[in-house]
Each structure stands twice: as structure tokens, then as C-alpha cells.
A and B are shown apart, each in its own frame.
Chain A
């Protein structure tokens, strides 16, 4: 049988001006220009760009290819290196964030130093924003400047730093517990940071879960039971992060634990309804704990949207509640003659209104006091509402259930069954448009305290009025307020206020800061299945980062020429990262902390500090190339 990877292949490359007698100190630059299907070549004349650089001294190979990132594309580079025709690589294609590692890999396979490579972005910076002659001209300039930069490249080694096999999980909800369990099983030390005295988070408030009808409590207890069998897990409850420093492999974190007056009578490990598993080690007084960890999993979860004053009568009309409150009340509900009783009140008719605080549209919905609109769908509320509606109709068939919705989003596995079952059992559906929201008013003289008016799309925009005993607002998901951590850890946040991943498909559980991973609803609305999948994906990334005991970092960091440095300390003054530069006669840089921002190079009066791979000289050459064009 045949294994289908890593074979050596040939191609039909043509030599341009092969530099046969050069030794390896002479730059021999290979230039590889990508069509990107048509993404680039529809707007840039790729052949013309190739033509424009092929006579530049030092350029020994120029290739174009429909997908440089494909195997045949990469093999062009490998072959040229192996044949000795090139010792520097310039790839002109999409943004380096997509494929830098692909091409470094190809270069490495050909036994050349992967940092003898520069990348010109002629897609995002050219073909997607320009067209025709100017696009071709700009692409050609960018490639030329990249060639000049490549000339000055030196072989670099990746930085290896020791990494602690110790992970901090921020948040003790279901995603945090899930991730903690995975990492403990890996043999890592795990610290779970939780601000309340309980584990389980928001799920503790839930009852039966859509669509499996499992009890949330059982899942939390199951995870906790497994976690408590692991011997390297520490629960830091009643705690918040108070400082955060360091870099992947070695983050220094302080946690502050505060006393709490929460239920002390409970014993450790007991599940408290609506709160979670009680961890009985509440501190007597404020304590500070310092730990050093290798990676962080953010699992800070969500809270439910709180409707504005009088939004659908909220906080103004008594019989208007939220889904979150309803689920908790429903745990203690009673049934008499097939009619629902909640908090001892007879509920003959109940209505649910979907998308409250979700799917808000600029120009139609009112922003909150901070000017925010939640434009996203909260994803979980349709199923949980329909399941609640279905439960009511099953146990209390004589209570009428009305459901006011925009779209029913029972997208997940077995969720559509709930929708079908709810319809079959007689839940009545009304559909409204976002710009004609149902109106909830007090019904002073009627049999029912509340009246809901809407234009129903399902009956062809008929005006409908329904009188009910209780209105449940299906409130959505918003991220927890973790602004202090966002500031301390410099976490990226999206316009929707959730934490922002690097790329939803290529690196979905990582943030731009290496060593920090995302799990669950701190990233976006998700149900328990999806939160656990994301948490396990974060666990696997943390494992891959730390399991060797060291991590490898890009070598693009500041380096001091100790011959030139006079120890003025100007660099120290401007360096934005604490503790990166130290002056001991001359400046010393901690490469693990240095982000390679290059601010120091601009202020050094001796020109003694430079960023490796991005030196001032290289920049000058690049600028010259741009100006010459």
C-alpha cells in the first residue's frame, strides 16, 4: 500500500540567471509569486510582476504558481533549495498570518534555516483592494522591497524557553471543569480560579437540558466527581486574579481570595440548587496566592441579559419575568387539574417572547445606556424555551402556551424534535418582525393581568391580541464583566464584547497572546455540548504547547550589540513590557518577554539595539526599493 505524503517531486522550473560560481555568502534569492486561484491573478498581472523582478541582481529563481501553498507550490521552493539555486526565499501571496508557517515548514524540510525567508502580502494589501495596472505596480513594488529585505536576512534559531506543566483555568463553570479534568488527566497541575464559592457556574441554575432531558445537576456532579479524583487539581474559589505577568510557559499570577458569607453549613462537594458544588474552603481573611503557570484557559462564561426598565413591561408589570427566573421557579412548580402553578399562582396562560436582548438591529432597537446593541443571536434560547414550552404542555395540558418568535433556531442535533413535539402538543406560535415587536401592556379589567398585541406573520400579518397570566422574556447571553482581566492580560475583545479568537477556523480557541486559550461562552454563545467541545479543544492546545516541558518562540526579538552599547538606558525607558530590558553596564534583553516591537531601536543614540530579522538596515533597503520604483 502507498503512503501519500512526503515524496520528492520534480517540476518544470526554468532557470533565470543561475549564479553557478557563487558561494553561500552571496545571496541567491528565489521569488515565488502566487495566483491564489484567481484571488490575486484576477486583479494583478502575476506574470508581469515576475518579469519585473527577474533581473534584479541576486534573484536566481522566479516562479509563479496557481496555489503556492499547495504541495506542488511548496515543492518548487524545496527543489530550488536542494539544488543549491537559492539561499533566500521570498513568497508573494496572501497575508503571512495564513501561511508563514507553511512556507517555513517547506524551507525546513529542504534543510535550510526557515528564517531566511520573507513574505510579501499581495492579496489583502493589493488584489483585494486595488485592481488593474495600479495593482500590478504595487504588487511589484512590494515584492521588490521584500527582495531587498531578504538580502539582509540572517539564519536565526527559534527561542526555546522552559514551560511549566501547570495550567490556570479561569472560571469554574462547566467549560472550566471540563478543561481542568482533561488537563489533570494529562498529568498537568491544574489551578481552577472561581470567584464564587461554588463550581458549576450558570448551568447550576438550569434543570433539564435541551435536547437530551438530562439534569444539569447530574452533569456538574459527574464532572466534579471525576475532578476530585485527580490529585493535581487545586480549587481557588472566592478568588479573583489580581496580577498577571510573564510569557507563555512562565506566567506569574497572583490570586486574591476574599472571605464570603455564603452558606457555610454545607459540606464540601455538596450540590446546592441554583449555585453549584460547594467547595468548603472559604478564607477567613483576605489572602494572596502567587502561582507560576505555563498556560491559561479562559472559561469565564456568561450572564443573562437583563432587560431594560419597562422593556416588554419588565420590572414594571409584575407578571413579566425572564427565562432564567422561570426555569428556577419551574423547578418547584405544581400542577392542579392539568394547570400550572408557579409560586402558588395559577398560570392558565403563559407566553414566551423570544430574542429579548439578542439579534438587535441598529436603527430599530434601542441601545443600552452605554450605547451597546447585542446584534448576535444567543443560540441557546430557542431550544431551551421550546423545551420549557413542551414540558408545560406535557405536564400541564390545560395551561395554554403562546410562543412569540422571529425565527425558530432549533438547529442542533435532536433540537428540531423538541420543536415538533411542542407544536404537536399544542404550543401556539406567533411570528413577529423585528420592527414590529409585540406590545406587552397591563390588562386592567380583563380576566388575565397582561395583554400582548402583535402582528402575526404566520396568519398573514393579522393583528392579534393574547391575554395571559405570565410573560416570560427569553433573554439572551452576554459575556461576564471581566474588564480587569482584559486589561491585565491584554485580551482581545470583539465588537460583540466576547473574547476574540485569532481566526474562527484556523485557530478558533487561541487568542493572539500565545499561551492563552478560550473555552466556552466567554468567546460566544454556546450550549453545554459546544462549550465542552470548545473546552476540550482548548485543553488539547494547552497540552500540545506544554507537554514537552519547553516552548519555542519566534526569534524576532531585540538584540544588543555589546560593542556599541554604552548603557545609556534609553531603551529601558521606552520599552512597553516590564522587566524586558535590564542595564548592567550594557543593556540586556529578556528574549522571552520581548515582543519585537522595535520601539527601542528608534531611541538608541548609539544604534546598538536592533530587532533580529527586522533590522534597521533592512528597513532602509526596503524603503529605498519602494522609492526607487
Chain B
């Protein structure tokens, strides 16, 4: 069983599941791009969702999903409130 996931076999499986793999890579591409832009903004200062959205020119609904994803996986935290909006900032190690 040790080599059940070996390189050769995986390669042929990737072929077999081409559509799924493509799908997944698309997701990786989108999230990498968005995370990169968001992280750059909130690395040193806390910002609200509309502020981030404006800075990176992405829809604010999309930004909220990715910021809450960052929060869920421990990469960002919620900070103080500014008007009706909370601010978010990257945790130091990222």
C-alpha cells in the first residue's frame, strides 16, 4: 500500500479526472489572487470590507467571503469597529 498514491499512478488519475482537476486549479487561481491582494492591504493596518474592496477593486461580497475564510483558517483577525463595519487585519506570522 505504501505506493498507493505514487507519482505515476497519480498522473494517470489526473488525466482521468481532468475536469475536476481543472476545476480545482481554477479555484486555486482565484483564491491565490484574491488572498494575495487582500493580504497586502491588511498586512500592516486593519481595514473594513468596503475599504479593502475599494482598494483592490473587487466586489465587497467576494472580499467578505475571503476575509472570513482567512479568519477561519487563523490568518486574519477581527479588530475594532469603524462605524457600522468591523476592521480586519492579518495576524503577524502571515
A–B contact (CB under 8 angstroms): no
Give B residues with C-beta under 8 Å from A. none
